[in-house]
Amino acid sequence: MAHFDVGFKLRHDCPFNVLSREFPSVVMAWWTNYDQDVLEVSGGMSDANETYQRKLQSAIRAMGGSIVRRTVTSSTLQLVISWDGKKYEYSTSRVFMKHGCLVLQPTIHTEGWEWYRVVAFSEKDLKDMFKELDGTSEVEVMSKKTVGEGTVRDTLVITTSSLLGGLTSNQAEALVLALDSGYYRVPKKATTEDVAARVGVPRTTYDEHLRKAESKVMQSVAPYVQLMARKPTLRRPSQADPRPSVLAD
C-alpha cells in the first residue's frame, strides 16, 4: 500500500515549545501512548539546571500532566508523565490523529523547534494535516518521500532504502567516488576538483550531485542526529545538597 513518509519541524506557542526556545541547547525526546509519556531530557543544562527543571514542571502542569516517576543519571533526566487529556485542548498529536497520520517516535524538542516524522496514507490527509498546522504553527518540511511499494513496517525502521532510497544514480555515484577518493577523510585526501577530474566531468557538475546527495542523506538522519548532537550536562543532585528536588511531584 502506498504511503507518504514526511519529516518536518514546527514551532508554536505550546508550553514545551516556549521552553525549548528559552533553553535552545536542551534536547527533549518524547515517547508517548497519549495517556502516559516517557520524556528524556539531556544537554545544555549546567548552571540553568534548577531553573529549567522548575519551568519544565510548570509546563507539564499547564498541559494537564503529572509526574509519575523521575530518574536522574549522570547524562539524562527521565520522567514518566501521566495526562488527564482535558486541560489543554489543542495539541499537534490530536491534529495528526484527526487526519489519520501515524507519528513515528520519538518526537524531539530542541532549539525552539519540534521535530516530527509521520506516515500519511493519502495525499489528501497529508495536505489537510499541514493546512491545519499552518493555522497555528510555523512549519518547515525537511523531507518527503512516497513509498509506492512495501509495507509500513519497512518505514518504521532505519533501512538502507530509508537513508539512500531518494538518491539518483548520479548522486549515489558522487557519494561513492567521494568516499573512495578520501574526500571524507581527516585530513582530506582529495578535493571535489580532484574527484571530478578523475572521472572527467566539470567540477560544478560533480559538486551539484554531491551536495544534493549529502543533503538527502542528512535530512533522512536529522531526527536521529538531534538525539545525539549535544553533550549531556545534566547533573546528578549532590547528596550534600539538602534542598528538595524541584521536580518532586
pLDDT of residue 150: 59
Q: Based on the domain organization, do 94 and 204 belong to the same domain?
A: no
* Final residue in a domain of this structure, among 150, 181, 199: 150
Alpha carbons 4 and 17: distance in angstroms, whole number:
26
Element (H, E) at 185: none
Q: Based on the domain organization, do 93 and 58 belong to the same domain?
A: yes
Q: Based on the domain organization, do 31 and 103 belong to the same domain?
A: yes
Q: Based on the domain organization, do 75 and 180 belong to the same domain?
A: no
Residue 15 in grid coordinates: 508550553
- Domain-located, residue 249: no
pLDDT along the chain (249 residues), means of 10: 85 90 89 85 67 90 89 84 68 87 88 90 93 92 77 58 75 91 90 93 94 85 63 44 42
Q: Based on the domain organization, do 96 and 69 belong to the same domain?
A: yes
Q: Based on the domain organization, do 36 and 136 belong to the same domain?
A: yes
Q: Which residue has the cell 491534529?
A: 95
pLDDT of residue 246: 41
Q: Based on the domain organization, do 184 and 117 belong to the same domain?
A: no
Q: Based on the domain organization, do 213 and 122 belong to the same domain?
A: no
- Domain-located, residue 189: yes
- Domain-located, residue 235: no
Cβ atoms of residues 246 and 70 within 8 Å: no
Half-sphere exposure of residue 128: CA atoms within 13 angstroms, side-chain side? 13
Q: Specify the pTM.
A: 0.64
Alpha carbons 124 and 36: distance in angstroms, whole number:
30
pLDDT of residue 223: 64
In 146-176, which positions are buried (b, 16+ CB within 10 angstroms) versus exposed (e)? Answer: ebeeeeeeebeeeeeebeeebbeeebebbbe
pLDDT of residue 10: 93
- Domain-located, residue 14: yes
- Domain-located, residue 85: yes
The distance in angstroms from the start CA to the end CA of the chain is 46
Domain that holds residue 57: 3-150
Element (H, E) at 18: helix 15-22
- Domain-located, residue 16: yes
- Domain of 214: which CATH number? 1.10.10
Q: Is 227 exposed, middle or buried, given 0-12, 13-18 or 19+ CB atoms closer than 10 A? A: middle
Q: Based on the domain organization, do 66 and 99 belong to the same domain?
A: yes
Q: How many domains does the chain have?
A: 2
